[in-house]
Amino acid sequence: FPPHPVFGSKNVVIEWSRQLTELRECAKKIGKKGVPTIIGEIGIPYDLNEKEAFTNGDWSVQVSAMESVMQALDMSLLSATLWNYTPDNTN
């Protein structure tokens, strides 16, 4: 984790990418040839902003959050399985 807070959505994406890249690089050091890397169950919760989207139908915050996650994965050249946290889930 970074030694200091990260501010701004662009900087958060860059930091996530840095951390994911670090995981990828660690996997390269396992054994003689490294091991394949896939990030399992990455995603976002849909109940952001105190569940406002459930009442007003504006899911733009969730879309933006998911775009940030996917950008960090792309920048890290990694694959992942998507955590499907459906909007009707209440736990």
Catalytic residues: 41
Q: How many CB atoms lie within 10 A of CB 20?
A: 22
CA end-to-end span of the chain, whole Å? 27
